[in-house]
A and B are shown apart, each in its own frame.
Chain A
Amino acid sequence: MGKRKQRLLRALGRSAEGVLRGLEEAADRPKQLDYFIEVMRAAYVDDCLAERLELSEPRPKVVGIYCVMAPEELVYAAGAIPLRLCGGSHEASCAGDELAPRDACPVVKSALGSTALGAPSLYELCDVVVVPTTCDAKRKMGEELAQHTEVWVLDVPHVKESEGARRQWLEELHGFKRDLERLTGNRIKRRALKEAIAMLGRAQHQARRLYQLRQAPVPVVRGSEAALALHAFAFDRADSWTEAMTRLNDELEERTRHQQPSQGAQRPRLMLAGAPSIFPNWKLPNLIEEMGGALVTDESCVGDRYLYDPVGAVENTMEDMMVALGSRYLMPCTCPSFAPNDDRLFRLRQAVEDFQLDGVLYLVLKGCVIYDFELQRVEKLMRELGLPVLRIETDYNPEDVEQLRTRVEAFIEMIQENTQLEVGA
């Protein structure tokens, strides 16, 4: 093991452990959360994901996936294991600094750093990585990753409306399927795909259950906890994750029944919108909760949006399942790499209603132009709905935490003052 890799492992392990400890310190955390903490610990701190996944001999192929457009159903149906690789480590992003332009976003830098140094080792575990062409940074990242590993580029159309784009996308998925078959040597059979869709369907069902539980007027789980549990899907087998998530949901349901709030019920209900907070970058979720906000939802592709949409196959013919997968992984996705992306505004409007939101924190990761572009539309929408929006531009560097703290605190104070006024008036 190279010295640089060892150093990076140590450094990112430390900051990941810090986040996990923080979650463990909350005495009132759901008991069933510990499973997800252990998944993340295995991935980032103990660096033993391969052992945890119990990859039997002969070792199944492991497929690394970026973004949320590559159907994991196909990976499972081919007998391979998918891992989600989008990076959230400050230390890895520093290692990736020299591999990407200065203005590239930290997600890309972190992924490049982790791949180049092979830390955490789960990046080395992947036999191949799939890079959907979402934003410019991800697309170019795919090119750079190819220096270190085998890369499959999945061409995602950026205009969902046109039928031609959707047909091309379906073709692309057929290509993905053929590539997987070649990689694993297994033909993807109808039955296997049907079972994979059902398996992920169960995971999606549980994710949706959590989503609905979090809409309760009294929050029964912290946003930082829920986000971690959802995020753990990236590094776990779908069926084990679903079991753990079922247990967590059962516990939360129990709490809802007994009205056991996880934090004060009076806290302003906030959404963390914009760019995703990827583990271990727990900067904003932690700040929001430390400063007295209740983080009830996000629109992150490693959080509430990760497993929200189900696959709607009906006929279970191969073609029908492929069409259903194509729809699921393209159409309802509200990533701002799509244009026009009015769908996102509809989703946000619905979230404001479902979660009875009081305010929106809008994360712009430095270099993520597309989320920043859509900020204006989101602000306009929220003005219409009477909700304040706080834009926070930052990266994974912890140096600005204190400045951000003041802004987040003032934002939450502002909401509290205003709601008090409303009650008083």
Chain B
Amino acid sequence: MRVTRLRWLVLAVCFVLLTFGGRMGVHLGAYLPTFACYFTGFDSYGGACFLAPLQFALAAGSVDGLLKALLYVVIAILLIIPLGSAWCGWVCPFAFVQDVLDLIRRKLGLGYLRFPEGLREGLRPAKWVFLFIMLLLPLWAAFPILVPSVARHLNIPFCELCPVRYIMPMLTGRASYMGVDLENATTIILSGLGVFFAILTLVLSLFKRRFWCAYCPMVLVLSFFRRISLPKLKKDVQKCTRCEICYNVCPMDVEQVFKEREKENVTFPDCVLCLACIEHCPEDDALRATWAGKTFFRSTRKGFSRRRKIGVDRHKNKDN
């Protein structure tokens, strides 16, 4: 089976389970390092993103809250180790939404947009900004020493900004989230930006592959563990012809994989381990995926040709 097809299947199943699993009796709790939105509702989600409860716990400001936050982090790490960035490529329900939008683009025959290097570099700090907002502002809410009137409303500042919080609940019938919270200036600004990001994400996902993922703080968090998490993308630099196919098929526009000329480990920070690069690499063993050091998927020219239906040799070699 083609890896892409398998990935679609896994993504779709995860999407259903995590978004609607609650209605079918699946309850994994809000511990997952993936964007299964917490705000799809307790009654609906089968498992949810740990970032919302983490922010709540930080904003509580108590020792108890901090311990709880620590627990969330530890559980997340334990979940990250075996899957690594595959959480983004294979599990994330919002990735599924983006990939569906991308599929619509393809069916419409539209090309994808690739931001120029300068813009990509300029936007790279965005996820760091989101991460700091997520970790620091709730603490400010917990200990409102300065401007308490603003701080009071910063319990879950990242979620307020996160486009996923506005989009995913719509799918579970909570359309009311999609709107600006007019309670006060702080909420207006935060939710206003959030709605803006949500619309931007929905629209641009139709043109740019995995638009949101480039700014997603979860991708960043997962990348912190790319050295110790078990799945890895590896490259044989000698076998690589630098044909750039891996870059063209990469939904995350990771350029370094084809450019790398020294290191074997090419699990770069933006990699979501979708394995499309291995699937489309035309050189035998130039790219491979390993889990705990064991190769489970490798590139072959035969596979490349077979997928394009150009390698159907008339008689199969019986000896092989």
Contacts and interface: CB of A to CB of B under 8 A. Distances in A.
B295 interface: no
Contacts of A320: 111-112, 248
Contact of A324 (B116, B239, B245, B317): B245
A4 interface: no
Interface stretch (B56-64, B127-135, B305-313): B305-313
Interface string B144-182: 000000000000000000000000000000000000000
Contacts of A343: 241-242
B244 A331 contact: yes
A139 interface: no
Contact of A332 (B242, B259, B276, B319): B242
B100 interface: no
A347 B245 CA distance: 17
A160 B255 CA distance: 13
A154 B309 CA distance: 31
A315 B104 CA distance: 12
Given A314-B248, A327-B248, A250 B243 contact: no
Contact of B314 (A250, A317, A346): A250
Contacts of B293: none
A64 interface: no
B248 A201 contact: no
A317 B110 contact: yes
Given A323-B248, A349-B238, A317 B109 contact: yes
B303 to A, nearest CB: 12
B243 A332 contact: yes
A204 B305 CA distance: 9
Contacts of B106: 315, 317
Contacts, number: 93
B280 interface: yes
A5 interface: no
Interface in A284-322: 309-310, 312, 314-315, 317-320, 322
A209 B311 CA distance: 10
Given A198-B309, A312-B249, A317-B106, A350 B238 contact: yes
Contact of B243 (A198, A327, A346): A327
B188 interface: no
A205 B241 CA distance: 16
B301 interface: yes
A347 B106 CA distance: 34
Contacts of B309: 198
Interface in B213-268: 237-245, 247-249, 258-259, 261
13 contacts: A201-B310, A250-B315, A310-B301, A312-B248, A314-B280, A315-B112, A319-B110, A319-B111, A320-B111, A320-B248, A327-B243, A327-B244, A350-B238
Given A315-B106, A346-B238, 19 more contacts: A160-B242, A161-B259, A198-B310, A253-B317, A312-B304, A314-B249, A315-B112, A319-B110, A323-B111, A324-B245, A327-B244, A327-B245, A331-B242, A331-B243, A332-B242, A332-B243, A343-B241, A347-B241, A349-B238
